[in-house]
């Protein structure tokens, strides 16, 4: 029986438990790469695998959690990536064959922040994983187990690397906080639906919490998750870690672990096991608990169509009413957007995307087709910006396959591609992208003979394209047919023909979409024609429209102007003579945008909103403008710092997540750089001197970097020592700058004791410097136990630092 067949059996599959704690028992004090042990100490790892198989595991994970090129490079081992992963899989496979068990090739996060939250390109992450996947398959893994992912974008890239470079099934597991979301703001349904579309055979959650907390999150989501038609997995921690006598301890007993895990199995979770703090004893208790149970046969039936962003899912099967596709991110009729694209600015993009979402857009169409620019780069940058600016899904609008492919690689969700048509080149280049990325697509009723006016020829072209897509394995529930609207003023009668096409495909159960505004091209007061045609199309089953969301009006009784528009569209007003006569005195074609509330803001308010909205492109000019009216301290305190306080509030209340906070901090930093040379000797509020770093033995620094950046923005003088910093170096740096505060970060339970060590060294040196600590494994209780203060996140850490300096 292979692994895919095993997934269809009634009983849950039991995966193993923690690896790191057992390795530390066998090699105390080891400070090198765990993954290198696959080559240097294979017998140790084989013994651990045997313990888990003896305890009842049916699937064990390889010792390759940090086996990507990026992670191995931290130990100078990147050139041995394939070798190390192959060795890890081979030694596990040798043991698994003794027990007729399975091997899961463990793949963990790289520790990098990917654009837009960080600076690492998606391509680099993908390449880092690709070689790891090849090594795992070569060594004999039965399945790839991607795990402990915080960022849906990184999980997607790892999954693609597995799909593109191996023939193995894939488990893909995210890490969720108690609010049911990842650190980067993705909820469980959005994450799992996205990963299932990218080809995972199993989706799930691991780490971060114990099984009881996992039960609560899955109970809240299980009904929606069941519609995914895909097996689920959970391997949870043995509760939360505590520091006792300098050791990391997980208190959850094996029996309690098994009882909660059994609840997950009863809910239908297929792959169950342990993560941090769990041992063979926990797995043995779990095996005993499930052995006496009878489970129903597993049936996985998909019944959904989800379009997703990083943090939001649009359920097409449950959505009622018209799907609004925001049209205004298109440079064709928007000179300001075209100018921004040529000059590399994102000002229009940010403002207009937010505005359309506020007006009710469900999805935003993004087109960057401007002559003489690099469209691939412009689209990629726009996708990055939009992913951190708005939470709705995107429609990638281009006829260039290279542009589409780069955007799909970067986008952290399941978008719509606009578009494919019946021409040979389009079919040849776009269909492979649809297969690889699992996205939705707009199919144009267009072929090599061009656009047809009459409905029959358009229907024939559309149907041929649907037949081709179906024959290539594309699910037609993921296709929107676009009948192609022609300007009624130029092609009289085409409006009624378009309505026939919409009705034909709607009756066949195919989704339909239109670009609305072309219907009224060249006519005055276009909104009336657009409104009437939209209502006529809705009556014939229209699913979605690329439209100005602020202009949508669903009506049951026409105004005088709309009645005239109806007569024109139905052909009883040739040449729109009566319609034009009615508007003769105001027949100028509508120009578009009107000034918004931003125009009424004073210069400091402009700065405030730029930081809150992460508008990094305009902040320098806004600060220079404000300097003509205000002194630097006023701009700093009333504009920049006040805005950052607001961002902190939004983050604390869950309205902002990490991407928005980083964007605002970067904007603040850029504005502050203009003011910095002008603040010398001024009365701008100055905080204190801070030494910050990640402690010895810990090479994680994402959270620390965010805290350092925010502290600088709040007026602290920051000495950032980096990561893996010895205690003596920290103490000396504090002396050198006469530090007012030392900030320490640790993401590993194995390095938490360094914080205690530094606290004791400060006392020995008689340095009365407050210590502020934080990180994923640190809590308030531990901080107090070492005489330190605790920051639960970047915002809280900065607030604690400010409070300490005020004493």
Q: Which residue has the tokens 């409905």?
A: 455
Per-residue b or e along 121-158, where b marks 16 or more CB atoms closer than 10 Å to that residue's CB: bbebbbebbbbbbbbbbbbbbbbbbbbbbbbbbbbbbb
pLDDT at 774: 92
CA distance 466 to 469: 5
Closest CA to 64 of 113, 3, 20, 120: 20
* CA angle, 758 then 762 then 765, to 5°: 135
The partner residues of 576 in beta bridges, in order of sequence, read none
Q: What is the pLDDT of residues 246-303, one digit of tens each?
A: 777 788 999 999 999 999 999 999 999 999 999 999 999 999 999 988 888 877 887 7
Per DSSP, the three-state class of 777 is coil
Low-confidence ranges of the chain (pLDDT < 50): 585-596, 683
The partner residues of 363 in beta bridges, in order of sequence, read 325
All domains of the chain in start order, with CATH: 33-236+269-275 (3.20.20.330), 488-591 (no CATH), 595-683 (1.10.1240.10), 686-807 (3.40.50.280)
pLDDT at 807: 75
Residues 369/373/377/381 CA torsion (nearest 10 deg): -70
pLDDT at 487: 86
**DSSP per-residue codes, 594-635:** ---GGGG--HHHHHHHHHHTT-TTTHHHHHHHHHTTS-HHHI
Helix pair 335-343, 347-358: axis angle to 10 deg: 140
User: What's this model's pTM, rounded to 2 decimal places?
Assistant: 0.85
| Pairing mode of beta strands 170-174, 202-206 | parallel
Closest CA to 114 of 162, 144, 156, 81: 156
3-state SS of 177-203 is CCCCECCCCCEHHHHHHHHHHCCCCEE
Q: What is the pLDDT of residues 753-803, one digit of tens each?
A: 899 999 999 999 999 999 999 987 788 888 999 999 999 888 889 999 999
Closest CA to 175 of 163, 186, 160, 162: 186
Token pair for 700: 């994680």
pLDDT at 682: 54
pLDDT at 750: 59
CA distances from 280 to 65, 292, 694 (A): 19, 19, 32
pLDDT at 644: 84
Per DSSP, the three-state class of 680 is coil
């Amino acid at each position: 029986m292979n692994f895919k067949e095993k997934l269809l059996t009634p009983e849950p599959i039991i995966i193993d438990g923690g690896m790191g704690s057992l390795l530390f028992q066998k090699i105390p004090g080891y400070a090198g790469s765990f993954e290198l042990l696959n080559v240097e100490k294979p017998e140790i790892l084989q013994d651990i695998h045997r313990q888990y198989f003896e305890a009842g595991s049916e699937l064990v994970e390889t010792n390759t959690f940090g086996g990507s090129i990026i992670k191995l490079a931290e130990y100078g081992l990147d050139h041995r990536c394939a070798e190390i992963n192959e060795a890890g899989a081979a030694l596990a496979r040798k043991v698994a064959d003794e027990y007729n068990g399975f091997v899961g090739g463990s793949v963990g996060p790289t520790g990098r922040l990917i654009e837009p939250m960080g600076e690492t390109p998606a391509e680099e992450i993908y390449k880092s994983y690709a070689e790891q996947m090849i090594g795992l398959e070569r060594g004999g893994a039965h399945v790839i187990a991607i795990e402990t992912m915080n960022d849906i974008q990184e999980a997607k890239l790892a999954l693609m690397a597995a799909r593109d470079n191996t023939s193995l099934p894939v488990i893909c597991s995210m890490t969720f906080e108690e609010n049911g979301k990842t650190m980067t703001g993705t909820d469980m349904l959005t994450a799992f639906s996205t990963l299932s579309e990218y080809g995972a055979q199993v989706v799930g959650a691991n780490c971060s919490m114990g099984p009881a907390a996992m039960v609560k999150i899955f109970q809240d989501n299980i009904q929606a998750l069941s519609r995914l038609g895909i097996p689920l997995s959970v391997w949870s921690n043995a509760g939360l870690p505590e520091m006792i006598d300098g050791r990391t301890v997980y208190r959850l007993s094996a029996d309690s672990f098994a009882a909660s895990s059994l609840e997950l199995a009863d809910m239908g979770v297929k792959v169950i096991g342990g993560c941090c703090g769990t041992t063979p004893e926990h797995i043995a208790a779990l095996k005993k608990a499930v052995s006496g149970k009878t489970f129903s046969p597993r049936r996985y039936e998909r019944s959904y169509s989800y379009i997703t962003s990083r943090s939001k899912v649009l359920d097409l099967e449950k959505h009622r009413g018209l799907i609004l596709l925001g049209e205004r991110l298109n440079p064709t009729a928007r000179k300001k957007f075209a100018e921004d694209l040529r000059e590399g600015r994102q000002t229009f993009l940010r403002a207009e995307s937010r505005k359309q979402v506020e007006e009710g857009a469900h999805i935003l169409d993004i087109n960057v087709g401007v002559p003489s620019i690099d469209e691939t780069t412009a689209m990629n940058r726009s996708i990055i910006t939009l992913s951190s600016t708005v939470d709705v899904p995107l429609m990638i609008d281009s006829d260039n396959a290279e542009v589409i492919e780069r955007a799909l690689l970067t986008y952290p969700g399941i978008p719509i591609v606009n578009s494919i048509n019946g021409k040979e080149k389009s079919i040849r280049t776009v269909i492979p992208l649809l297969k690889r990325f699992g996205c939705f697509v707009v199919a144009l009723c267009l072929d090599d003979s061009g656009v047809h006016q009459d409905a029959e020829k358009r229907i024939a072209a559309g149907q041929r394209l649907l037949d081709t897509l179906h024959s290539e394995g594309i699910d037609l529930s993921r296709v929107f047919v676009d009948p192609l609207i022609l300007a009624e003023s130029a092609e009289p009668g085409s409006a009624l023909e378009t309505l026939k096409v919409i009705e034909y495909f709607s009756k066949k159960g195919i989704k339909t979409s239109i670009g609305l505004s072309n219907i009224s091209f060249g006519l005055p007061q276009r909104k009336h024609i657009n409104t009437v045609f939209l209502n006529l199309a809705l009556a014939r089953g229209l699913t979605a429209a690329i439209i100005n969301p602020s202009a949508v009006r669903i009506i049951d009784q026409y105004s005088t102007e709309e009645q005239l528009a109806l007569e024109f569209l139905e052909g009883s007003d040739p040449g729109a003579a009566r319609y034009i006569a009615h508007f003769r005195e105001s027949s100028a074609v509508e120009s578009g945008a009107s000034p918004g509330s931003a125009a009424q803001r004073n210069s400091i308010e402009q700065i405030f909103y730029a930081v809150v909205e992460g508008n990094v492109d305009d902040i320098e000019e806004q600060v220079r403008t404000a300097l003509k009216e205000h002194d630097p301290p006023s701009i700093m305190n009333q504009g920049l710092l006040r805005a950052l306080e607001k961002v902190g509030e939004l983050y604390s209340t869950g309205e902002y997540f990490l991407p928005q906070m980083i964007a605002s901090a970067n904007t603040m930093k850029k504005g502050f750089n203009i003011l910095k040379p002008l603040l010398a000797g001024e009365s701008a509020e100055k905080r204190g001197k801070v030494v910050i770093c990640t402690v010895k033995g810990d090479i994680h620094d994402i959270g620390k970097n965010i805290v350092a950046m925010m502290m600088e923005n709040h007026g602290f003088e920051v000495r950032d020592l980096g990561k893996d910093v010895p205690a003596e170096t920290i103490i000396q740096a504090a002396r050198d700058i006469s530090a007012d505060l030392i900030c320490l970060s640790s993401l590993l339970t194995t390095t938490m004791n360094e914080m205690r060590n530094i606290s004791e060294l400060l006392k020995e040196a008689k340095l009365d410097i407050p210590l502020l600590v934080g990180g994923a494994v640190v809590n308030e209780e531990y901080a107090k136990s070492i005489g330190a203060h605790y920051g639960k996140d970047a915002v809280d850490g900065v607030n604690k630092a400010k409070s300490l300096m005020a004493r």
